[in-house]
Structure 1
Amino acid sequence: MHVPDGFIDAPVSAVAGVVAAGAVAVSLRGARRELDERTAPLAGLVAAFIFAVQMLNFPVAAGTSGHLLGGALAAILVGPYTGVLCVSVVLLMQGILFADGGLTALGVNITDMAIVTTVVAYAVFRVLVKVLPRTRRSVTVASFAAALVSVPAAAVAFTLIYAVGGTTDVAISKVATAMVGVHVLIGIGEAVITALTVGAVIAVRPDLVYGARGLGQPLKLRVGGELVDTPAAPAAAPAAARSSHRTVWITGLVTSLVLAGFVSFYASASPDGLEKVAQDKGIDAKTEKHATEDSSPLAGYGVKDVADARVSGGLAGVIGVGVTIVAGTGVFWAVRRRRSADTSPTSLPEGV
């Protein structure tokens, strides 16, 4: 659903840019409460994983494909504020290095794909985990539903943006029907990927899943006719916890590299939902050439001057995962360090 330059006029793109910048600023502040020494590197990994899986377009209808947006996955794994930042980092890397998503449309893409998907998904997720039984399976079920809803919500958001700032004269009702229809199907794929990923992480390290925090119920024992809490189990040894965390991180990184470097070659070549609707309805009539299409050596998800398509695409994917995880981890560690500085004794007001 990457919006290219030329779909949305300059004034609306500028407003979307301001909205996106404001949301990123708020998210940077909110992420300080979500990130700690365990989740900061995990957040960088989540961004890299989203980048990798977005390369895996899957068929959803005749001549149409879809790919992960990632807002729901990021929000549930590392928190909604950090989730906005994860997807924003991915979109920035894609726009600058891979000519995917217009640079003047970056604000539109962040608003649509990072903010809307994350906010909607996390709201749905929180409602469901409150009404469902407090189990790990409920977290997975809630993840599926949240991701499923987030994708057509993003389609509706794009339609509203296009209604205000679209550069072609196409009936909005036609755009809305086509966008929502195809993205409901894409949402099913998003939901499956999100639920499987969250389920895999929660099976081995539930403490690393932000959306699962506080869901555990203490075991009760009946003593003298009354239910009492059992004594808390001893915490895992720090060394064992670090080793387990490292295993999760390495597994996630290897998986991301394999998906981007090898599996992506077999992804569907059909246009994604937005591209297909744009072609069918004519809203791509004023699409502009991407600013980095000729200058970036990775434009189009291939390495310039590498003739073999498999090798070129695989190298581009691996480079993309590497750059995204470095950029993302750098951002999240900086946010984490800022939190540490804000909460240190020397940062407290005098007399406190």
Structure 2
Amino acid sequence: MHVPDGFINAPVSVATGAVAAVAVAVSLRGARRELAGAGAGGVAGAERTAPLAGLVAAFIFAVQMLNFPVAAGTSGHLLGGALAAILVGPYTGVLCVSVVLLMQGVLFADGGLTALGVNITDMAIVTTVVAYALFRGLVKVLPRRRRSVTVASFVAALVSVPAAAVAFTGLYALGGTADVPIGKVFTAMVGVHVLIGIGEATITALTVGAVIAVRPDLVHGARGLTKPLELRTSPLATPADEPAPAAAPASAAPAPAAPRRSVRRVWLAGVAAALVCAGGVSYYASASPDGLEKVAHDHGIDAKAEDHAAKDSPLADYSVKDITDPRLAGGLAGVIGVGATLAVGTGVFVILRRRRNTGADDRPATGAERPSENV
């Protein structure tokens, strides 16, 4: 659903650019809290979540290269807003998808540069907000089980895609450059993107389910599912028979902190999966136009489409220039894209983490916040 240059006029493009800038600024502040609050122990959670957030961005970039057929002559691909929000949080999720869209527009000529605000608003903000709001609502009413998180992920991702199609229709009604009846645009966009949403939901649910099965503590949307350990007494004992708890000695040492589990294996597995998808599986992706491209061509929305400013980029159209073997050219471009997105995404989140930690270190420590020797 990458909107090219020329689909939306300049005033609406500028307005959506302003909306995207504000949303990214808000997400930067929110992501600091999400990164600092991840896992047990605040800073420890941030140290492991920042690289994972960069990995989520790289994974979304890779899976977006895997267009899947949804109808005759039409394909779809992951948008990723629901997946990112559920895995690393809604604010961090907006930033993840925004990084992906920026890398695609600058390096691969995918999505217009003047339409970057439109794409961030539609694909990063709308999908993330709609998906996460629906996801949280479902998790509250469903049984507190891991399977419920997977089910909620499926439904949230399914709804987020046609929601983005509705948002695009609204933007086109405000600033479309071609004279096309909005009713036709709405019907065509929503119809095909409901089908694409099924693919989005399947990918999202499978990915979230796989991570939950291995490390549920790394899934933002699964927090609170694990109940704390409870000390149970014998069922035969009565309250009068139970001994009163002994007072802890004043000199007793605090209980040792729970050991932190490494995320290295999860990170390496995620990077490997992204490289395989972008570097190998992408060669077998559907070559049919995606939902927006198909609707634009069939209904004349692309009548005033403009060439991308980076159309002569060495990586334009996800193919390395001057390499004649299409498998090698596409695979190498995918690997470069994964590496670049991983580096930029991780860098952004590491900087956010460090700024959050620096701000925390500058505050005077209270009795409950004084650092322990185990940190």
Structure 2 residue runs without a partner (length 5+)? 36-45, 240-254, 370-375
Question: Is residue 253 from structure 1 mapped to residue 275 from structure 2 by the alignment?
Answer: no
Of 352, 357, 362, the residue aligned with 1:340 is: 357
Q: Is the 8 A contact 1:129 1:139 kept in 2?
A: yes
| Aligned ranges 1:168-207 → 2 under 5 Å | 168-207=178-217
Correspondence for 2:155 among 145, 154, 161: 145
Code of the residue aligned with 2:301 in structure 1: it is I
Q: Distance in 2 between matches of 1:46 and 1:342?
A: 26
How much has 1:215 moved relative to structure 2? 2.0
Q: Distance in 1 between matches of 2:148 and 2:238?
A: 25
Change (3 A) 1:7 1:227: farther
Letter in 2 for 1:178: A
Q: Which amino acid aligns with 1:17?
A: G
- 1:272 partnered with 2:290: yes
Cα-to-partner distance string for 1:297-330 (whole Å, 9 max, x where unaligned): 0001000110110000000000000000000000
The alpha carbon displacement at 1:214 in A equals 1.1
Q: Distance in 2 between matches of 1:188 and 1:336?
A: 35
Equivalence for 2:110: 100
Aligned counterparts of 1:37 and 1:140: Cα–Cα separation in 2:
26
User: Is this contact kept in 2: 1:40–1:336, CA < 8 A?
Assistant: yes
Secondary structure in structure 1 of the residue aligned to 2:70? strand
The residue that corresponds to 2:327 in the other structure is: 310
What are the within-5 Å matches in structure 2 for residues 1-352 of structure 1? Answer: 1-35=1-35, 36-218=46-228, 221=232, 223-224=234-235, 237-238=259-260, 241-242=261-262, 245-294=263-312, 296-344=313-361, 346-348=362-364
| Largest Rg, 1 or 2 | 2
**In the alignment, which residue of structure 1 is the partner of 2:42?**
none
The letter for the 1-side match of 2:34 is E
The alpha-carbon distance between structure 1 residues 222 and 54, as it changes in their structure 2 partners (threshold 3 A), is: same
- Distance in structure 1 (CA, Å) of the matches to 2:185 and 2:73: 18
SS at match of 2:302: coil
Whether the 8 Å contact between 1:134 and 1:217 is mirrored in structure 2 is no
Tell me how many residue pairs correspond in the alignment.
340
Query: Offset at 1:38?
Result: 1.1
Q: Alpha-carbon deviations, 1:53-77, whole Å to 9, x = none? A: 0000000000000000000000000
Tell me the CA shift for residue 342 of structure 1: 1.3
Give the distance between the partners of 1:235 and 1:255, measured in 2 at CA. 33
Task: Return the alpha-carbon distance in structure 1 between the equivalents of residues 344 and 290 of structure 2.
Answer: 26
The residue matched to 1:2 in structure 2 has which SS?
Answer: coil
**Distance apart, 1:227 and its partner CA:** 12
Deviations 1:69-88 (A, max 9, x none): 00000000000000000000
Q: Cα RMSD (Å) of the superposition?
A: 1.9
Q: 1:17 to 1:227 in 2, by over 3 A?
A: farther
Write the distance in 1 (CA, Å) between the matches of 2:256 and 2:91: 31
Give unmatched runs, 5+ long, in structure 1: none
Change (3 A) 1:222 1:91: same
Q: What stretches of structure 1 move > 6 A for 4+ residues in a row?
A: 225-228
Q: Percent identity?
A: 77
Q: Deviations over 1:91-148 (max 9, x none)?
A: 0000000000000000000000000000000000000000000011000000000000
SS in 1 for 2:321: coil
Using structure 2 for the length normalisation, give the TM-score: 0.88
Matched position secondary structure for 2:63: helix
Q: 2: distance between equivalents of 1:30 and 1:112?
A: 19
Q: CA shift at 1:216, angstroms?
A: 2.2
Flag the 1:347–1:61 CA change in 2: closer, same or farther, 3 A: same
